[in-house]
């Protein structure tokens, strides 16, 4: 499909709108997707601060429609979203069933692979997931983020008797809380502002300030702030032999005294991407609520306003409409 398209371009920590980007060529095994909605996430914001030295089209949360799929015509016209790791399928990690840790991987809109803040994006067919007809575009654009929220329960056993604390009431924190609520655990979300507390209350989830929660009392802490203060708080709240799950990327180095991790035998777990199909199933069944997290919708031409809204304290999910 020859021609040009509009898209955002990131280079040297600067973002600009380009109207003459080439529409990607696709070959057998790939799909060309017309983007319908795309979401700004914390990684997109951190990339402006140099999280990765990326040059190209950013963005990885999306829903779109397949417009070309050589030798895979059954995909034409389908609404899809896609996993962000582009793996080689041949290295030791891929052969061991861990394509997300491919030794040669590229990452959609983050590392060596153009992303979804453009009118079209290409992806391998194996990365695609068909969106159920009853799931709206506004719901489907949350699939990657919801999958990341579910990954916590893929890595850590959460029992109904566990005291679980989510530190950070942003978009990912609120989605993780909704998923964790389904386990029946004793759950609280640490908040700093009344707005997320009110939203959590509508979802039947209890919140508390850091000062209200007793130190060294939580079995599992999920740290979702991406800042040093949140990590220090997680360390203070977790009980001996408890678990801290790191669910945010950090721009730059973080200073941390590890002595208590050794003395109290605390488990530290890094957590990244997660399973798309269960995420789509939760959306289809209405078991999580995502629409209240949308705090802004912008045309691509208004990307500066969109990014400003995404950076505003209290802002949750900002979408680009195509």
**CATH code of the domain occupying 4-142+290-321:** 3.90.180.10
Per-residue pLDDT at 171 exceeds 80: yes
Read off the pLDDT of residues 269-283 as tens digits, 9 standing for 90 and up. Answer: 999 899 999 999 999
Give the pLDDT of residue 248. Answer: 79
Q: What predicted TM-score, i.e. pTM, was given to this entire model?
A: 0.92
Contacts of 222 (CB under 8 A, 6+ apart): 152, 164, 165, 166, 167, 173, 176, 180, 244, 245, 247
Q: Within 156-208, where are the H helices?
A: 171-181, 194-202
Q: Does residue 129 sit in helix, strand or coil?
A: strand
Read off the pLDDT of residues 303-322 as tens digits, 9 standing for 90 and up. Answer: 999 999 999 988 999 999 99
Count Cβ neighbours within 10 Å for each residue of 308-318 and write b for 16 or more, e otherwise. Answer: ebbeeeebbbb
Read off the pLDDT of residues 228-258 as tens digits, 9 standing for 90 and up. Answer: 888 889 999 999 999 999 987 665 667 777 8
Cα angle for residues 312, 313, 315 (degrees, 5° grid): 70
Burial of 208 (0-12, 13-18, 19+ CB in 10 A): middle
Percent pLDDT > 90 in the chain is 80
Give the pLDDT of residue 231. Answer: 87
Within the chain, which residue ranges are assigned CATH 3.90.180.10?
4-142+290-321
Q: Which pLDDT band holds residue 181 (cuts at 50, 70, 90)? A: very high
**CATH code of the domain occupying 149-270:** 3.40.50.720
Within the chain, which residue ranges are assigned CATH 3.40.50.720?
149-270
């Amino acid at each position: 499909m020859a021609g040009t398209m509009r898209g955002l371009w990131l280079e040297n920590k600067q973002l600009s709108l380009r109207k003459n980007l080439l529409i990607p060529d696709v070959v057998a095994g790939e799909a060309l997707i017309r983007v319908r909605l795309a979401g700004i996430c914390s990684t997109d914001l951190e990339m402006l601060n140099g999280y990765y030295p990326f040059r190209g089209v950013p963005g990885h949360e999306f829903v779109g429609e397949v417009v070309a799929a050589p030798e895979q015509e059954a995909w034409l016209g389908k609404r899809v979203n896609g996993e962000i790791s582009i793996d080689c399928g041949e290295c030791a990690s891929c052969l061991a069933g861990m394509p997300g840790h491919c030794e040669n991987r590229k990452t959609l809109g983050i590392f060596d692979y153009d992303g979804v803040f453009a009118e079209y994006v290409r992806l391998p067919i194996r990365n695609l997931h068909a969106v159920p007809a009853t799931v709206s575009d506004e719901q489907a654009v949350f699939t990657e983020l919801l999958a990341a929220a579910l990954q916590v329960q893929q890595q850590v056993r959460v029992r109904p008797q566990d005291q679980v604390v989510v530190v950070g009431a942003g978009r990912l924190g609120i989605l993780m809380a909704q998923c964790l609520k389904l386990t029946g655990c004793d759950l609280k979300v640490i908040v700093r502002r009344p707005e997320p507390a009110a939203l959590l209350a509508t979802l039947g989830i209890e919140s508390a300030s850091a000062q209200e929660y007793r130190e060294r009392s939580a079995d599992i802490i999920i740290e979702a702030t991406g800042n040093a203060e949140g990590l220090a708080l997680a360390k203070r709240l977790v009980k001996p032999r408890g678990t801290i799950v790191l669910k945010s990327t950090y721009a730059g180095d973080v200073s941390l005294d590890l002595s208590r991790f050794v003395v109290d035998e605390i488990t530290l777990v890094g957590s990244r991407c997660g399973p798309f199909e269960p995420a789509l199933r939760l959306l289809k069944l209405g078991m999580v609520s995502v629409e209240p997290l949308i705090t802004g919708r912008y045309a691509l031409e208004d990307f500066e306003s969109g990014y400003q809204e995404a950076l505003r304290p209290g802002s949750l999910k900002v979408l680009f409409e195509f």
